Amino acid sequence: MRFAAVVVGFVASILLTFPSLADVSSLLDRADKIRSSDFSGFEALITEIEQSDETLTPQQMHLYNLLKGYQLTFTGKVDEAIALYQSIENSNASDTFKLRALSSLVNNYAVKRDFYLGAKAINRLFDLREKVQDETALESSYLVVAIFYNQAQQFSLGLNVAKQLLERDVSNRTQCFARHVKVEAEFELVKILSDYQYAKQSIEFCKKHNEVLVASIIIATMAESLTNEGRITESLNLLQDAEKDTLASQYPPIIGVFYALIGKNYLLLDQPDLAKSYGLKAYNTIQNFGMSIALVKSLEVLYKATEAQGDYPQTISYLKLYNEAEKAYLDDKKTRSLSFQQAKYEKIEKDNTIVILDKQNALLRTQAELADEQSRNNRLALTLAITLLILLFLWLYRSRKIQTKLRKLAETDELTGISNRHYFNDRAQRIIEQAQQQKQPVSFVLFDLDHFKKVNDTYGHQTGDWALRKSVLEAKTVCRSIDLIGRMGGEEFGIILPGCSVDEAVKVAEICRVAIERIDTGETEHKFKITASFGVSDASLCGYSLERLFAGADTALYDSKENGRNRVYRYNTSKPSLTPT
Ligand X SMILES: Nc1nc2c(ncn2[C@@H]2O[C@H](COP(=O)(O)OP(=O)(O)OP(=O)(O)O)[C@@H](O)[C@H]2O)c(=O)[nH]1
In the complex, which residues of this chain contact ligand X (CB under 6 A)? 415, 448-454, 456, 461, 464-465, 468, 490-491, 561, 565
Closer residue to ligand X, CB minimum distance, 298 or 566: 566
Taking the C-alpha atoms of residue 529 and residue 513, their distance in angstroms, rounded to an integer, is 12
Taking the C-alpha atoms of residue 331 and residue 337, their distance in angstroms, rounded to an integer, is 10
Q: For residues 118-130, b (16+ Cβ closer than 10 Å) or e, as one string?
A: bbbbbbbbeebbe
Find the angle CA(449)-CA(455)-CA(456) to the nearest 5 degrees: 110
Closer residue to ligand X, CB minimum distance, 284 or 579: 579
Closer residue to ligand X, CB minimum distance, 224 or 450: 450
What is each CA distance from 148 to 46, 154, 349, in whole angstroms? 28, 8, 22
Closer residue to ligand X, CB minimum distance, 407 or 461: 461
Cβ-defined contacts of 9-15 (< 8 Å, 24+): 9/74, 10/36, 10/213, 10/251, 11/36, 11/37, 11/38, 11/39, 11/40, 11/74, 12/37, 12/38, 12/210, 14/38, 15/40, 15/41
Taking the C-alpha atoms of residue 479 and residue 284, their distance in angstroms, rounded to an integer, is 142
Taking the C-alpha atoms of residue 559 and residue 552, their distance in angstroms, rounded to an integer, is 11
CB-based contact 568:576 (threshold 8 Å): yes
Closer residue to ligand X, CB minimum distance, 209 or 565: 565
Strand order in the sheet with 492-498: 484-489, 492-498, 442-449, 532-538, 568-570
- Shortest Cβ distance from residue 382 to ligand X (Å)? 56
- Shortest Cβ distance from residue 493 to ligand X (Å)? 11
Other C-beta atoms closer than 10 Å to the C-beta of 11 total 16
* 495: phi then psi, degrees, rounded to nearest 5: -130, 130
- Shortest Cβ distance from residue 421 to ligand X (Å)? 12
- Measured in residues, the chain has a length of 581
Closer residue to ligand X, CB minimum distance, 251 or 459: 459
Q: In this chain, which residue has its C-beta nearest to ligand X?
A: 464
User: What are residue 449's DSSP bridge partners?
Assistant: 532
Please report how many Cα atoms fall inside a 13 Å half-sphere around the Cα of residue 251, on the Cβ side.
27
- Shortest Cβ distance from residue 423 to ligand X (Å)? 17
User: What are residue 535's DSSP bridge partners?
Assistant: 446, 569
Other C-beta atoms closer than 10 Å to the C-beta of 460 total 13
Find the angle CA(212)-CA(218)-CA(219) to the nearest 5 degrees: 85
Alpha helices (H) in 460-501, listed in sequence order: 461-478
Closer residue to ligand X, CB minimum distance, 290 or 490: 490
CB-based contact 142:103 (threshold 8 Å): no
- Shortest Cβ distance from residue 388 to ligand X (Å)? 47
Closer residue to ligand X, CB minimum distance, 39 or 447: 447
3-state secondary structure of 495: strand
Please report how many Cα atoms fall inside a 13 Å half-sphere around the Cα of residue 532, on the Cβ side.
28
- Shortest Cβ distance from residue 466 to ligand X (Å)? 9
- Shortest Cβ distance from residue 452 to ligand X (Å)? 4
Which helix (H) or strand (E) element contains residue 51? helix 39-51
Q: For residues 253-273, b (16+ Cβ closer than 10 Å) or e, as one string?
A: bbbbbbbbbbbbbbbbeebbe
Taking the C-alpha atoms of residue 4 and residue 243, their distance in angstroms, rounded to an integer, is 22
Closer residue to ligand X, CB minimum distance, 145 or 509: 509
Burial (0-12, 13-18, 19+ Cβ within 10 Å), 340: buried
Taking the C-alpha atoms of residue 309 and residue 411, their distance in angstroms, rounded to an integer, is 145
- Shortest Cβ distance from residue 470 to ligand X (Å)? 12
- Shortest Cβ distance from residue 453 to ligand X (Å)? 3
- Shortest Cβ distance from residue 392 to ligand X (Å)? 42
